[in-house]
C-alpha cells in the first residue's frame, strides 16, 4: 500500500513538472529583447515592455514588478534573466521566472543588475496596470485606476472593461465604470460607442469628463492652398480681414516658409543699413519719400541677397486669395465632435446653475456670520438705542475666551462646548460692568455714548495686545468639522460654515424665545415701547437695561467663538465685523430681530454678488456694497422692517 502511494505521488510530481515545462515561458520574450533591456534606454525600451505586457503570460507581472523594483538580474554564464536576492555578502539566490526553481550560492561577479531609471519605471508602471486592475488586493486595484487616470492609453481600455464584471468592491466597480466611459470617449475606435458614452455622461459635472471632452473640440488654426484636404474635420473657415486679421493670416504662411511681411520697421532698418553714397540699391535717397520707391529699393536689395525677401501689404492681400484659413478639430470624426460640443454646452449650463447655487450657499454662509455678529448689536443698539462701538471687542473677547479654554482642554470638541457658555458669561459680565459704569450715565446722549464706547474699544484692543500679543492665536475646530460637504465638483460648503449657520438659527430661536416667552423679554419690550409707563407698572428700567445690554454682549461673545473657528484671532478681530454689524442692523431695521436677519441676508448676498462680478478685488467689492447701502438708506431710512416704539421715535 505504501509503495502505491509513493508511486502515485511520483507520477503526480512528474506530471506537474511536465506541465510546467509545457507551459508558455516568459524567458524567450526576454531573450528576444535582451539587447534593449541591457541597454536600459528610455527611448528604445518601449517595444520590450510592450512585448512583455502583450504576452498574456502570468509570469509577465512578476517580471515587470521585479524589473521596476530593481530585483531583476542577468546571469552572465547562461544569459538568462532571474529575480535575485542577496543571501550573504556578494552571494545571491536566483529564482527562475518560469519554473520558480531557486539556485543558491551565485556569486555577484556572474550577475548584472538591471537598474531602470525613473522614466523606464514609469513605463513599466503603465504596463503593469492591466494586471493590477484585476489584482486580489483592493489597494493595488485603486492604485492601478489612479495610474490610468494620470496617463490613460488605448491599451488600458480592453483589460479595464474585462475587469468590471468580476469586481467585488462596489466603490471600485463604480470607479472602473466611470473610467471605462472616459476611456471609451477618448480612445475607443468605435464611433457609435464613443457617441453613446458622451451622451450618457453629458449631464455630469466632473472635471475629469470636461478634461476628456475638451481635447475633442480643441482646434488648430491652419492655412492651405485651395480648399481644406479631404477628411479634415473643419470647425470653421476664417475670412482674412474679418474673422482674422490680414497680418495674422499671413503669419501662418510665414511659419511655413513664405517671405516675411514688409513692415515699416523692417523697411526703415533695411534702407538705413544699406545707404551708400546717397543711394540705396541705386535709388536716390531724395526719391525715397514715395512708398513705391522705398518698396522698389527693398526689392532691389532682396534681389542682391542683402536683405530677406519680403512682401508688401498689397502683395500679401493678393497671395491670401489663393489660400483657405480654417480651424481644424483635433478629433477627426465630425459626429464625435458634434456630440462633444453638445455635451459641453449642456455641461456649461449645468455648471452655471451650480455656480449660482454655490454662490448662494456662500452668500447664505456669509449672511449667517453677519447675523451672528450683529444679533447682539440688534439688542444694544436696536432695542436700547445705544451706539456701542465696543461691540466688536466683545466678539474679540469671546474668541480669546475660546482660545484660552483650548489651551486648558486639549479635546477640541469638549473645549468648544465649554467655551460657548463661558464666552457668554465673560462677555455678559463685561457688558453689565460697562453698562453700570459708563452707559447708564449716557442714555439719550448718542454722541457722548459713541465717543465713550469708542475709547473703551481702543482700550480693550490694547489690553488684548498686552495679554496675548499681536500674533494671531489659533482657535481649532473639532475634527468632525474638518472638510466640506461636497455636492459635486462645483458646489461645496465647509462644515464649519454649516455649523455657524445652524448656530445662527439656534440663537434666532433663543432670542425669540427670550423676547416673547420670558419675563425679561416682556419687560424689555415694555421698556422699549414706553419706559415711563413700564416704570409706573413696577418695572425697573435700569435693571432691564442692564440685563438687556449684558444679553447683547453675551451673544457677541458666543459669536466670537464661532467666528474665531475660521478667522484669525487677534486684537483686531472685532473691528473686522463692527462695520458690517452696524450695517446689518440699520439696513434690516433698527431694533427688530427679523429686520436684522433680513439685513444680514441682503448684505451677504449683495457682497457675494459684487465679489462675483469683481473677484480679483474684494476690497473694491466691499466699497461698492457700502455705497449701495448708503443709497438704499436714502430711500428707506428706517430699514427693511421698521420698529415701532422708543427706538422708532428716536
CATH number at residue 441: 1.10.3470
Which pLDDT score, from 0 to 100, does residue 19 have? 41
Which pLDDT score, from 0 to 100, does residue 11 have? 43
Q: Give a yes or no: residue 342 inside a domain.
A: no
Q: Say if residue 20's pLDDT is above 60.
A: no
Q: Say if residue 419's pLDDT is above 60.
A: yes
Most confident of 46-50, 179-183, 270-274, 480-484: 179-183
Q: What is the mean pLDDT of residues 131-147?
A: 84
Q: Give a yes or no: residue 377 inside a domain.
A: yes
Claim to verify: residue 111 and residue 213 sit in the same structural domain: no
**What radius of gyration do the chain's Cα atoms show?**
40
Claim to verify: residue 242 and residue 208 sit in the same structural domain: no
CB neighbours of 442 closer than 8 A, spacing ≥ 6? 386, 448, 449, 452
Claim to verify: residue 274 and residue 417 sit in the same structural domain: no
Domain extent for 603:
352-649
The count of domains in the chain is: 4
Q: Which of the four pLDDT bands, split at 50, 70 and 90, describes residue 313?
A: confident
Which pLDDT score, from 0 to 100, does residue 336 have? 92
Q: Give a yes or no: residue 344 inside a domain.
A: no
pLDDT digits (tens, 9 = 90+) for 554-586: 988 988 898 888 888 888 888 878 888 888 888
pLDDT digits (tens, 9 = 90+) for 332-369: 889 999 999 999 999 888 888 988 888 888 888 888 88
Claim to verify: residue 570 and residue 586 sit in the same structural domain: yes
Q: Which is nearest to 407 in space by CA: 467, 465, 458?
A: 467
What does 188-234 look like in DSSP terms, one character per residue?
A: -S-HHHHHHHHHHTTT---HHHHHHHHHHH-EEEEEEESSPPTT--E
DSSP helix/strand/coil, 87? strand
Claim to verify: residue 491 and residue 615 sit in the same structural domain: yes
Claim to verify: residue 586 and residue 464 sit in the same structural domain: yes
Claim to verify: residue 177 and residue 320 sit in the same structural domain: no
Claim to verify: residue 262 and residue 285 sit in the same structural domain: yes
Q: Which of the four pLDDT bands, split at 50, 70 and 90, describes residue 463?
A: very high
Q: Give a yes or no: residue 300 inside a domain.
A: yes
Q: What is this structure's pTM?
A: 0.66
How many Cα atoms within 13 Å fall on the side-chain side of residue 28? 5
* CA 403 to chain CA mean position, Å: 30
Claim to verify: residue 433 and residue 562 sit in the same structural domain: yes
Amino acid at each position: 500500500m505504501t509503495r502505491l502511494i509513493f508511486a502515485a505521488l511520483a507520477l503526480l510530481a512528474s506530471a506537474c513538472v511536465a506541465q510546467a515545462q509545457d507551459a508558455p515561458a516568459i524567458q524567450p520574450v526576454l531573450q528576444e529583447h535582451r539587447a534593449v533591456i541591457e541597454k536600459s534606454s528610455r527611448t528604445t525600451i518601449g517595444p520590450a515592455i510592450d512585448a512583455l505586457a502583450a504576452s498574456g503570460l502570468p509570469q509577465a507581472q512578476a517580471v515587470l514588478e521585479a524589473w521596476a523594483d530593481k530585483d531583476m538580474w542577468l546571469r552572465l554564464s547562461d544569459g538568462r534573466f532571474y529575480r535575485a536576492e542577496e543571501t550573504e555578502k556578494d552571494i545571491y539566490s536566483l529564482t527562475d521566472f518560469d519554473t520558480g526553481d531557486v539556485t543558491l550560492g551565485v556569486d555577484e561577479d556572474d550577475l548584472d543588475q538591471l537598474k531602470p531609471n525613473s522614466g523606464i519605471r514609469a513605463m513599466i508602471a503603465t504596463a503593469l496596470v492591466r494586471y493590477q486592475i484585476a489584482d486580489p488586493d483592493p489597494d493595488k486595484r485603486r492604485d492601478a485606476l489612479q495610474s490610468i487616470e494620470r496617463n490613460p492609453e488605448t491599451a488600458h481600455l480592453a483589460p479595464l472593461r474585462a475587469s468590471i464584471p468580476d469586481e467585488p468592491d462596489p466603490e471600485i466597480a463604480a470607479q472602473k465604470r466611470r473610467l471605462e466611459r472616459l476611456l471609451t470617449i477618448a480612445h475607443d475606435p468605435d464611433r457609435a460607442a464613443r457617441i453613446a458614452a458622451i451622451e450618457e455622461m453629458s449631464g455630469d459635472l466632473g472635471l475629469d469628463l470636461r478634461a476628456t471632452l475638451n481635447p475633442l473640440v480643441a482646434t488648430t488654426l491652419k492655412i492651405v492652398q485651395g480648399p481644406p484636404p479631404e477628411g479634415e474635420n473643419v470647425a470653421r473657415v476664417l475670412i482674412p480681414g474679418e474673422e482674422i486679421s490680414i497680418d495674422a493670416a499671413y503669419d501662418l504662411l510665414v511659419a511655413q516658409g513664405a517671405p516675411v511681411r514688409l513692415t515699416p520697421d523692417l523697411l526703415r532698418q533695411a534702407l538705413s543699413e544699406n545707404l551708400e553714397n546717397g543711394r540705396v540699391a541705386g535709388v536716390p535717397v531724395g526719391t525715397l519719400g514715395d512708398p513705391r520707391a522705398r518698396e522698389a529699393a527693398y526689392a532691389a536689395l532682396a534681389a542682391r541677397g542683402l536683405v530677406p525677401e519680403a512682401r508688401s501689404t498689397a502683395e500679401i492681400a493678393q497671395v491670401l486669395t489663393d489660400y483657405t484659413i480654417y480651424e481644424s478639430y483635433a478629433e477627426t470624426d465630425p459626429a464625435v465632435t458634434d456630440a462633444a460640443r453638445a455635451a459641453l454646452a449642456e455641461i456649461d449650463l449645468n455648471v452655471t446653475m451650480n455656480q449660482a447655487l454655490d454662490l448662494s450657499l456662500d452668500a447664505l454662509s456669509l449672511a449667517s456670520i453677519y447675523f451672528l455678529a450683529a444679533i447682539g448689536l440688534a439688542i444694544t443698539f436696536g432695542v436700547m438705542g445705544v451706539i456701542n462701538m465696543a461691540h466688536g471687542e466683545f466678539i474679540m473677547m469671546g474668541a480669546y475666551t475660546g482660545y484660552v479654554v483650548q489651551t486648558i482642554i486639549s479635546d477640541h470638541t469638549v473645549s468648544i462646548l465649554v467655551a460657548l457658555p463661558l464666552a457668554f458669561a465673560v462677555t455678559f459680565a463685561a457688558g453689565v460692568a460697562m453698562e453700570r459704569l459708563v452707559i447708564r450715565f449716557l442714555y439719550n446722549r448718542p454722541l457722548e455714548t459713541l465717543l465713550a464706547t469708542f475709547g473703551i474699544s481702543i482700550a480693550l484692543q490694547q489690553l488684548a495686545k498686552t495679554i496675548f500679543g499681536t500674533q494671531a492665536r489659533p482657535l481649532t475646530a473639532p475634527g468632525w468639522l474638518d472638510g466640506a460637504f461636497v455636492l459635486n465638483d462645483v458646489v461645496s460648503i465647509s462644515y464649519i460654515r454649516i455649523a455657524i449657520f445652524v448656530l445662527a438659527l439656534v440663537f434666532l430661536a433663543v432670542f425669540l424665545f427670550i423676547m416673547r416667552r420670558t419675563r425679561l423679554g416682556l419687560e424689555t419690550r415694555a421698556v422699549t415701547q414706553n419706559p415711563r409707563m413700564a416704570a409706573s407698572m413696577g418695572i425697573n428700567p435700569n435693571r432691564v437695561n442692564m440685563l438687556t445690554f449684558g444679553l447683547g454682549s453675551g451673544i457677541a461673545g458666543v459669536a466670537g467663538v464661532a467666528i474665531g473657528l475660521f478667522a484669525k484671532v487677534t486684537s483686531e478681530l472685532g473691528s473686522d465685523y463692527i462695520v458690517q454689524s452696524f450695517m446689518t442692523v440699520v439696513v434690516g431695521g433698527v431694533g427688530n430681530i427679523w429686520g436684522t436677519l433680513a439685513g444680514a441676508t441682503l448684505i451677504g448676498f449683495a457682497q457675494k454678488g459684487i465679489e462675483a462680478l469683481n473677484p480679483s478685488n474684494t476690497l473694491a467689492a466691499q466699497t461698492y456694497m457700502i455705497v449701495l447701502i448708503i443709497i438704499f438708506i436714502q430711500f428707506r431710512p428706517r430699514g427693511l422692517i421698521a420698529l415701532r416704539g422708543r427706538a422708532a421715535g428716536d
